[in-house]
């Protein structure tokens, strides 16, 4: 079956902002998934570094890819924009400095396909090139292992859940956790333990890196 002519099973939302040196890795990891019925919606949140040209070159007529540009509004807005364009049965995310292992989407789709009561999956992180410790949303000034947290890029859920609970809300830090707290009111959530989401810690401009910098240098 030609899946490019039918509704995709999974919509992957990739927000990006001035990540021309990194976003290709994320894109290629999505397009090389064993799951075939997918679409990749890249939301360019106002990049000025040549990201648009790179993304259009990489698409090269691949009908699974869709490029959406908006003025810079932040990660929460970019994710919500991507979901608004999504046509898949399931919605998930990837950050522009990360990547998937090839089975990432297939494993998650199969689990939700066979567990109709579960409203969302999350987790399954492998930390690459750095410490797994990140600022703790619930204990300001403390650190916590990101592999135990609710990381938005690993959220995998049915499209209608987004409409039911509302989208992501902007926060300086912790918007994933705020979203997660609303999801768990809607039904069971399951953490998966396959480490198929490769979470890179070597980007100085990531939200986590910027938050740690603010904690370490409160006067700046």
Please report, for the domain that includes residue 202, its CATH number.
Answer: 3.90.550.10
Residues 6+ apart with CB under 8 A from 217: none
To which H or E segment does residue 165 belong? Answer: helix 159-165
Q: What is the pLDDT of residues 14-52, one digit of tens each?
A: 999 999 999 999 999 999 999 999 999 999 999 999 999
pLDDT for residue 2 is more than 70: no
Residue 44's nearest CA partner among 63, 21, 72, 86 is: 72
pLDDT at 205: 60
Structure tokens at 109: 């789709």
User: Count of domains in the chain?
Assistant: 1
Q: How far apart are CA 142 and CA 132, in angstroms?
A: 13
Q: How far apart are CA 202 and CA 210, in angstroms?
A: 12
CA distances from 158 to 9, 11, 56, 179, 187 (A): 10, 10, 28, 15, 12
pLDDT at 219: 53
User: Which structural domain range is residue 100 located in?
Assistant: 3-216
pLDDT at 202: 86
pLDDT at 52: 96
pLDDT for residue 153 is more than 80: yes
Q: How far apart are CA 159 and CA 218, in angstroms?
A: 39
Residue 132's nearest CA partner among 146, 153, 149 is: 146
pLDDT at 5: 57
- Percent composition of the chain: helix, strand, coil (DSSP 3-state, to 5): 35, 25, 40
- Taken in order 165, 171, 175, 178, the sign of the CA dihedral is negative
Residue 94's nearest CA partner among 44, 137, 155 is: 155
The model's confidence at residue 220, banded by pLDDT at 50, 70 and 90, is: low
Q: What is the pLDDT of residues 47-82, one digit of tens each?
A: 999 999 999 999 998 999 999 999 999 999 999 999
Query: In this structure, are residues 96 and 16 in contact, taking their beta carbons and an 8 Å threshold?
Result: yes
Buried b (16+ CB within 10 A) or exposed e, 93-129: bbbbbbbbbeebbbbbbeebeeeeebbbbbbbbbbee
pLDDT at 120: 98
Share of the chain above pLDDT 90, in %: 86
The answer to whether the pTM exceeds 0.85 is yes
The model's confidence at residue 213, banded by pLDDT at 50, 70 and 90, is: very low
């Amino acid at each position: 079956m030609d899946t490019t002519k039918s509704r995709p099973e999974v919509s992957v939302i990739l927000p990006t902002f001035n990540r021309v040196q990194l976003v290709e890795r994320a894109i290629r990891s999505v397009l090389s998934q064993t799951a075939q019925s997918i679409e990749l919606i890249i939301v360019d949140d106002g990049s000025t570094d040549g990201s648009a040209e790179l993304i259009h070159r990489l698409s090269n007529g691949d009908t699974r890819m869709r490029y959406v540009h908006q003025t810079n509004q932040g990660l929460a807005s970019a994710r919500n924009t991507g979901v608004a364009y999504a046509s898949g049965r399931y919605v998930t995310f990837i950050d522009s400095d990360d990547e998937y292992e090839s089975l990432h989407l297939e494993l998650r789709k199969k689990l939700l396909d066979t567990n109709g009561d579960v409203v969302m999956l999350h987790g399954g992180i492998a930390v690459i090139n750095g410490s797994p410790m990140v600022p703790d949303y619930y204990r300001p000034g403390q650190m916590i292992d990101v592999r135990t947290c609710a990381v938005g890029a690993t959220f995998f859920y049915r499209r209608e859940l987004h409409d039911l609970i509302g989208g992501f809300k902007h926060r300086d830090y912790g918007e994933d956790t705020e979203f997660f707290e609303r999801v768990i009111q809607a039904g069971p959530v399951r953490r998966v333990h396959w480490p198929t989401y490769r979470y890179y810690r070597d980007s100085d401009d990531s939200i986590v890196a910027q938050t740690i910098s603010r904690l370490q240098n409160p006067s700046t």
